[in-house]
Amino acid sequence: MLTDLIRDLVTANRILAHQGVVDAYGHVSVRHPDNPEWYLLSRSRSPELVEPADIKVYRLDGTPVEDDGHQPYLERFIHGAIYEARPDIRAVIHSHAGSVLPFTVCDAPLVPVIHTASDMGHRVPLWDIHAKFGDTNLLVTCMEHGRDMACCMGQNKSVLMRGHGFTTTGRSLVEAVKAAIYLPENARVLMQAMQMGKVIPLTQGEVEIRSRVDPDSPQMQRAWEYWSRRAGMATGG
């Protein structure tokens, strides 16, 4: 099972890179299937280049379970802090997608307006690292940063990060990947709609109904197969 999960995590990296959600930067993790206090995450490498041998196991505090001298992502604390705060979360994705960035530096809320983006949740709070930590390099480089961000996210599925990007989550790796793909698409549609007239967002009830979809349902697996093939990977998940 662990081998299959590592394969799927590599596939997720490739999918997100192919879809333009991540570029040289950004990362995706999944909670360890045998120990909820651990998670799987690549060593510091661009997602499109990640291979199975790059996947490492970390404790929630960001320390590697086996220290083989690899260079970890500086912002791995994003993942550990969310897993610590949210036992229901199985996967975490961090991105700097350009279409989302405007919503991290203004007071216009990022709300769901397309049905495929309902995985982002009804509300996406904005976390400002400066509010508690003052001037920084805007990176989440310790558990204190990560816990403050996770606190801001609360029970929501996603969180914006001022001048930085966004982090989204899922009850499964497939669900998190879907959320990460369609959140930037939702941002693009929303910005276009704001220029045209009054925006009509999805209602909270609509989001809640769509959130009841089984993260392992055939319709989710259909999307995973499609994205995997387009990214040049064998079908997994």
In DSSP notation, 61-122 reads TS-BSS--S----TTTHHHHHHHHH-TT--EEEEE--TTTGGGGSSS------SGGGGGG-S
Nearest-angstrom CA–CA distance, 15 and 42: 15
Q: How confident is the model at residue 228 (pLDDT cuts 50, 70, 90)?
A: very high
Classify residue 237: in a domain, yes or no.
no
- Residue 105 is part of a domain; what is its CATH number? 3.40.225.10
Best CA proximity match to 50, nearest among 100, 8, 79, 14 = 14
In this prediction, residue 210 carries a pLDDT of: 86
Classify residue 166: in a domain, yes or no.
yes
- pLDDT of residue 236 exceeding 50: no
Paired tokens of 45: 């490498």
Best CA proximity match to 187, nearest among 74, 105, 64, 132 = 105
Among residues 75, 84, 144, 225, which one is catalytic?
A: 75
- For the chain, how many structural domains are there in total? 1
Q: What is the pLDDT of residues 35-82, one digit of tens each?
A: 999 999 999 999 999 999 999 999 999 999 998 999 999 999 999 999
Range 15-37 burial, b when 16+ CB lie within 10 A, else e: bbbbbebbeeebbbbbbbeeeee
Is residue 75 flagged as an active site residue? yes
Coil, strand, or helix at residue 225?
helix
Q: Please state, rounded to an integer, the average pLDDT across all residues of the chain.
A: 95
Nearest-angstrom CA–CA distance, 82 and 27: 14
Coil, strand, or helix at residue 232?
coil
Contact criterion met (CB below 8 Å) for 17 and 47? yes
Q: How confident is the model at residue 237 (pLDDT cuts 50, 70, 90)?
A: very low
Classify residue 235: in a domain, yes or no.
no
Classify residue 207: in a domain, yes or no.
yes
In this prediction, residue 235 carries a pLDDT of: 62
CA atoms within 13 Å, Cβ hemisphere of 217: 10
The domain of 223 spans: 2-230
DSSP 144-196: HHHHHHHHHHTTSSEEEETTTEEEEEESSHHHHHHHHHHHHHHHHHHHHHHHH
Q: What is the pLDDT of residues 75-122, one digit of tens each?
A: 999 999 999 999 999 999 999 999 999 999 999 999 999 999 987 888
- pLDDT of residue 1 exceeding 70: yes
In this prediction, residue 221 carries a pLDDT of: 92
Paired tokens of 81: 């802090």
- pLDDT of residue 8 exceeding 60: yes
Classify residue 79: in a domain, yes or no.
yes
Question: Of all residues in the chain, what percent carry a pLDDT higher than 70?
Answer: 98
Classify residue 154: in a domain, yes or no.
yes
